[in-house]
Amino acid sequence: MLDTARLVLRTVEAADAPFYLELVNDPDFLLHIGDRGIRTLDAARTHIDNGPVRMQAALGHAIWLVAHKESGAPIGMCGLIKRDTLPEVDLGYAFLPAWRGQGYAVEAARAVVGYARERLGLARLLAITSPHNTASGALLEKLGLRFDKIVHLTQEDPGTRLYAMQLCATA
């Protein structure tokens, strides 16, 4: 899908289930993104097929696997998600602990923002973070997104920070 200086972003596939299972059960993922209830490789494969693979086929974008270009190792996920609970597409990302703090998330997210602007022609892009995820908020602001408001994505949601940015001038 996308290449950067150090990364390759591509559609996640069933063969990536071991990596996906590790990522969605990382303590920081559980704390800041949420528990998806994925505990087995079969559940990971099913979630991949019913989530990112299906969204990519339907919309031409999804959350993509981020691989380290030199080693080929999967290090995280980054991409564009269309959630029923948000009016527009949002930027999402998550990285394994060993790959955080090295600029990989910014590098991947910049490529995804460029894809949203140039290839999809999106006028606006959203992103969400948990209220206490200051690192994620700082990354979004570095990309040019700005805090908009607190939203409640479900009745149980105590509050999620919504960020937004204009990508293209509207007619």
Task: Report yes or no on 141 lying in a domain.
Answer: yes
Domain count, the chain: 1
Task: Report yes or no on 156 lying in a domain.
Answer: yes
Task: Report yes or no on 134 lying in a domain.
Answer: yes
Can you give the pLDDT at residue 171?
46
* Average pLDDT of the residues in 1-25: 96
pLDDT in tens, 48-88: 999 999 999 999 999 999 999 999 999 999 999 999 999 99
pTM equals 0.93
Percentages (nearest 5) of helix, strand, coil residues in the chain: 40, 25, 35
CA 71 from chain centre, in angstroms, equals 22
Q: What is the percentage of the chain residues whose pLDDT exceeds 90?
A: 93
**CATH number for the domain that contains residue 155:** 3.40.630.30
Can you give the pLDDT at residue 1?
81
Residue 158, CA atoms < 13 Å, CB-side half-sphere: 5
